[in-house]
Structure 1
């Protein structure tokens, strides 16, 4: 293998990769972990508040009008997603799930409860970046 071949195998799809397929560089891995921990620390407590019945959360989901079952569902998803981000075997799937949940939250903020979508949008972007950085861990068949 020439130096050029080595370099080409080390850079794939615009992200730095190690010479071993399916593994990421140290910088990409550290960035992923920092984003995962930050997102987990921002999401999981909100999920816990929903599950314990914090009055602000009960009122929020009453305003949404879909019933309190949705508060429990979202709380479970947020708590599981926050924990999942810290478990290497499921972190990519957790990020996908949180991304979808946060897109739903953004839509709800915009069109149903007339709240600012800024926080949910920013968190969705963070989740999307994690998905991108961990995409090689997703259970998707590649040809």
Structure 2
């Protein structure tokens, strides 16, 4: 007597998780390049107003734009994804602190803190790229 069993389609373990990570990375990467970084490079009125209120001047606005664009692009490069996520997580913690303490608007610090947590999760999930990058740089 033979039993017929239905076989479920098999997928690699973690394939769904990897797709979710890449979806989040692509969306956040595009957001940081197009919606967050580039407006600082073209000196959009809102960005100028915010950085004037911070008191660091235009150079800091361009620096923040550069960090955000570099981080957004890094999220899209597999070898750099972990490092970019870790760097953007740190950047978002500083952005939240700036909102809370310099701009005196602690309610605006919630969004950067949520982003910091998402980037920390991405860095944790992409930690193999962090260790590979460390190993390549230490040679």
Normalised TM-score (structure 1) = 0.77
Shift, 1:92, TM fit: 0.9
What CA deviation, in whole Å up to 9, does each residue of 1:75-105 have, x standing for no partner?
A: 0010111111011111111111111110100
Match of residue 32, structure 2, among 39, 43, 63: 43
- Secondary structure of the structure 2 residue equivalent to 1:132: helix
Please give the root-mean-square deviation of Cα atoms over the aligned residues, in Å: 1.6
Q: Which structure shows the bigger proportion of residues in helix conformation?
A: 2
CA contact (8 A) 1:36 1:85 kept: yes
Summarize the alignment of residues 19-38 of structure 1 with structure 2, pairs less than 5 Å apart. 25-38=14-27
Normalised TM-score (structure 2) = 0.79
The reply on whether 1:131 has 2:123 as its aligned counterpart is yes
Q: Distance in 2 between matches of 1:42 and 1:111?
A: 25
CA contact (8 A) 1:46 1:78 kept: yes
Q: Which ranges in structure 2 are unaligned for 5 or more consecutive residues?
A: 1-11
Aligned pairs, number: 119
Q: Which has the larger radius of gyration?
A: 2
